[in-house]
Amino acid sequence: MDPKQVVSSDPQPRQKLAASASAKAPPCTLIIFGAHGDLTKRLLTPALYNLVGAGLLDDGFKVIGVDRVDGSDESWRDELGQTMQEFTKDPDAEFYTPEINQDWWKSLSGRMHYYKADFTDIGQLEGLKAHVSGNVLFYMAVASRFFATVVENIGKAGMTKEEDGAFRRVVVEKPFGSDLVSAQELNARLLAVLDETQIYRIDHFLGKETVQNILAMRFGNGIFEPLWRREYVDHVQITACETVGVEGRGAFYEPTGALRDMIPNHLFQLLSMVAMEPPNSFSAETVRTAKEQLFEAVQPVRPENAIRGQYTAGSVQGREVQAYRDSPGVAHDSVTETYVALKLEIENWRWSGVPFYMRTGKSLTGRLTEVVVHFRQAPLAVFADTPIDKLAPNNLTLNIQPRQGITLGLSAKIPGPKMDLGAVQMSFRYEDAFSLTPNVGYETLLYDVLIGDATLFQRADNIEAAWRVVDPALKAWAADASGPEPYAAGTAGPAGADALLKRDGRQWMPLDRDDG
């Protein structure tokens, strides 16, 4: 058998971008609130473009962009088209393609229409109702403070009621609340208008193939799952670090901070993929229930196990970086954290006693998103001349960014007459095994919403359980006037993060390493 052959035992396998035209999503009107926003331009439009190219959108699919500024169908299409062309000039962009396929773009742009309305004004939204019928998907590409208001208004305008077999669904972006209380309040307001089955809380991390591959690696291979437990795993590190700073987004970042921006959404989703119990099936509710059971076992973080930092001036890969407090939109005495490190404890049969360490930050020495499973040290009785602290640890790295793949660290004999052991690596890289196409991670998620597959989306209880874990840290920081620990831009973060692991006899994996 060809080792690259894809095998599925699911009688109705999930369709990806290579799906045939027969797997088209049903006809639908996609209404994007925030038509002129960065999310619409840089993520949603490229994703829709790729779905057109994959033949996954029905001929009856159309898009209505809603925003409060003047515009027309033509002006909106031109604006989005210009942004698409910019992607051909920046190889480092999240979506990069050498050229735009004009047939694909013509097919998509011809379905795009603009509707001027203030989405906080019910009267103006009632006029929108005349433009939609049948299946409708509402996308909240607006600031989080407007999520509940928009949903309540489209409900009052009579656009959320499902009838005659047609669906009405709402996609809500992060951040979903700013703490446990606000998340509970937002859930309550949405559920007063919608049924839980109509709400799709999106996290674009789960649209990345490498994140989904964690499930495939764990549950599609018989060699890993028997070792995936406290008897064999020493600890787990989850990292999502960046070399970029706030880059002109200080006004947004200042009230948010690294924890709210990354931990209860992105990093908790990685945690769920790595640590949840094997689901009985990959149906949406079965998978989401497995996540909820895991989150219930995660203990609220103790304040001493929550480290926060804020970058000062420095140099990142030869580029001079000003201090966070000197960035536009940031208070000169800001106590907003740009770095977070946590130690989490999971009290269940599989993971009791195994610490899970998380870190995320900006303006660091390396750009890296990964999960590293560190296995317990092997006993060395047979290697009498090799001290146990010299043996390279076995670790399995799930590479997400910038590398995509899996790296396994092993010990092997160094050639020569003596039994000396050295560290070696076995690597799998996506680009070596599969043909990769430019994507932004939203393609799979948008398609899943259209077909009604909620597997990769969060339920209300998932959201609240994650906030419940980190809430003690937020409260402790709010009462602590000392603020975050400073770290120079271009370093690996504050000293307190290193001390967090050092007191347990462990250390972080380097951010600037090359896994080959």
Please tell me whether residue 134 adopts helix, strand or coil conformation: coil
Query: Of these residues, 36, 113, 204, 266, which one is catalytic?
Result: 266
Active site residue 204: no
Strands 199-201, 405-413: pairing is: unpaired
Question: HSE-up of 129 (CA within 13 Å, CB side)?
Answer: 15
Handedness of CA 362, 365, 370, 372 (dihedral sign): negative
Is the CB of residue 76 less than 8 Å from the CB of residue 34?
Answer: no
- Write the burial class of residue 495 (CB in 10 Å: 0-12 exposed, 13-18 middle, 19+ buried): middle
Distance CA 57, CA 55 (A): 6
Residue whose structure tokens are 């006004």: 251
Q: Quickly count: other Cβ atoms within 10 Å of residue 514's Cβ.
A: 7
In eight-state DSSP terms, residue 178 is S
- For residue 421, the cross-strand partners are 413
Q: Are 246 and 327 in contact (CB under 8 A)?
A: yes
In 265-389, where do the E strands start and end?
306-312, 314-316, 319-321, 339-345, 355-361, 368-375
- CA–CA distances in Å: residue 16 to residues 12, 171, 232, 290: 12, 20, 34, 23
Strand extents, DSSP E, 28-71: 29-33, 62-67
C-alpha pair distances (Å), 423 with each of 392, 395, 410, 434, 508:
5, 11, 6, 28, 17
- Which distant-in-sequence residues (6+ apart) come within 8 Å of 326 by Cβ? 313, 332
H or E element in which residue 401 lies? strand 395-401
Residues with a catalytic annotation lie at 266
